[in-house]
Amino acid sequence: MRVNKSRKQKKKEYFTFMFLPGPNERVRTLSISKSVLKTVFLSFAAVLALSFYLIYEYNDVKDKIWELQSVREELMQQKAQVQSFALNLLDYKRQMFMLRDLDTKLRRVVSLGPRDKAQQVLGIGGPDELGLQNLATMGGKKQEEALKEMHQELTQLKGAASRQETSLQMLMEYFEDKRSLFASTPSVWPVHGWVTSPFGNRTSPFSGILTFHEGLDIAAQTGTPVLAPADGVVIRAGFSTGYGNMVEISHGYGIKTVYGHNSRLNVKAGQHVKRGDIISYVGDTGSSTGPHLHYEVRLNGLPVNPVKYLN
């Protein structure tokens, strides 16, 4: 039995494209089977999709490269900052050691006594100078360890700085008190002249009886300026029996000075005076045998020899 092969073969479908070049030219046709056109379309679509995918991947890779480059630059900057921080930390530690040594020397000079040894402890450690030079090339783990160590050093340094500040504040208060004491201590002659009657026992020029002379009598011409021998506050300025026109100055620290027999006064009670200020002028008022200044120094209410305070 014969089988007709043409019936078994599937009838192919074609797409015919007609081209019309011009009015006087021959019409041209192009027939493409549906299967071939489908294959071409699918191939084109696949190529187009692949192209879009490659473009997307390219842009994604390019963005990641830029991102990695940015991260790399940021890491390099951070490493440089860490190195700079470590160098500054080392410099601060050196300054702290210098301050501590200065603190110790000053305390030794003024016999103030050392600080508590427990407070003098200042941690030593952290990246040294050689390690700092290689810090920028450290791996992440080593850099983290260095940062942790520097953080500990910084904490110790802050504590040491606080203790050093307290110690230096104590020294400043000590020197300020000494400066104030020096400014308040009579240390210059209130008037230039010659001592006619010293401090201590003497025969009274008025009664002829042995009495205790509580100051110095310094002879000078009437009107000679009398100078404050130290800083202080005038607590009395006026006439007093025996002393005549007198001035009394409180210098603090239990020290007072008295100036008697003045011709006239140049200050008032409550007035602040500085060393070298003119407070009065030599005279012979009160119980006096001639122009001179009666000068007393009292410590905690008791008269002391003024010579001890004169240069």
pLDDT, tens digit (0-9, with 9 covering 90-100), for 124-164: 444 444 445 455 445 555 667 777 777 777 777 777 777 77
Q: 87: buried, middle or exposed (CB in 10 Å: 19+, 13-18, 0-12)?
A: middle
- Rounded to whole angstroms, how far apart are CA atoms 170 and 107? 10
Q: What length does the chain have?
A: 311
Q: Write down the domain spans for the chain.
A: 12-184, 194-309
pLDDT in tens, 26-46: 777 777 777 777 787 788 888
* Interatomic CA distance for residues 44 and 56, integer angstroms: 18
| Contact of 237 with 269, CB cutoff 8 Å | yes
Closest C-alpha among 223, 224, 168, 148 to residue 191: 224
The proportion of the chain whose per-residue pLDDT surpasses 90, expressed as a percent, equals: 33
- Which residue matches tokens 């009670």? 269
- Give pLDDT tens digits for 75-125: 777 777 777 777 777 777 787 777 778 777 777 766 676 665 434 444 444
Q: How far apart are CA 298 and CA 214, in angstroms?
A: 9
CATH architecture under which domain 194-309 falls: Distorted Sandwich (2.70)
Task: Quick: pLDDT tens for 231-245.
Answer: 999 999 999 999 999
Burial class from Cβ neighbours inside 10 Å (0-12, 13-18, 19+) for residue 205 reads: middle
Quick one: pLDDT at residue 136?
Answer: 47
Burial class (CB in 10 A: 0-12, 13-18, 19+), 73: exposed
Q: What is the pLDDT of residue 129?
A: 47
